[in-house]
Amino acid sequence: MTFPDNMTRLYAGEEALRTESLRRIGEIPNLASHLHMIEQAMNLFQALLPEKDNPDDDQLTLGNLGIRCFNALASCAKLSLSGYYQAAAIHIRDVLEVAFLLDYFTSDAALVTQWRTLSDRDRKRQFSPLVIRQALDDRDQFTGQKRRAAYEQLCKLAGHATPEGAVMLAPNPNEKTVHCGPFLEITALQAVLSEAALTSVQAAGSFRLLMKADDLEAHGVRLNFMHAEAEWLKQFFGHEPNHAYLSELCDLYSKAQQE
């Protein structure tokens, strides 16, 4: 049986859109910055994975969550560059949910063991997205429920079937006409990539703290991520990096390389 002609033509169209998306990204520095941040997060997820024969079950469990984030970000990038913005945003919501979970784990290492060993019923009750968001807000003394708003926005636009989600299918954001199949819309591409970058920073930042990998390669990837994170946060949020701290880490890393 030959591959269906319509599928072949669809794939050709997707690849053409990807080529044009990359060309447009090359013309818009902000978009390239978001892709670079996503790449650095993915590098970190991959580099800090534990060995498969690692006896530490909690580390293996965390590694599985890192792989989930890596795959979701790769899928998001592939879909967004090929013109499937709503489908790409579904993967951002997945990374955001994992990011909240990883952040929760940084509060207490014992939480990883609990999450891994509880029954399905108890895990759903004690580690539901709502419970985790509330615990994080209480821990950080946040009162604006921004975590909830971010999660619900992704649910509304992509994760669930809603009338509002149709905006992700419109080639012209000023019109209500939707399109079946992929299309190029630079505002949608920028929105998806910027949100993916922000979410990847959150997830990878917690993953960096939770994983025990301590070889030189792992530390080098950590430093690369931290530098990229600092520059990205400065560029888009005006956060001035802690240059002294980063410089100190770089000096320690250089000395370790020379030993």
> pLDDT: is 126 or 176 the higher one?
126
* pLDDT attached to residue 64: 97
Q: What percent of the chain has pLDDT over 90?
A: 80
Residue 87: is its pLDDT beyond 80?
A: yes
Indicate the domain borders of the chain.
8-213
Average pLDDT over residues 205-213: 95
pLDDT in tens, 49-86: 998 887 899 999 999 999 999 999 999 999 999 999 99
Helices (runs of H) and strands (runs of E) counted in the chain? 11, 0
Token representation of residue 94: 């997945």
pTM of the complete model: 0.93
Which residue's structure tokens are 């390669």? 217
**Contact 131/122 with Cβ under 8 angstroms?**
no
CA dihedral 198, 202, 203, 209 (to 10 degrees): 150
CA dist list (Å): 100 to 107, 200, 203, 204, 253 = 11, 11, 7, 11, 30
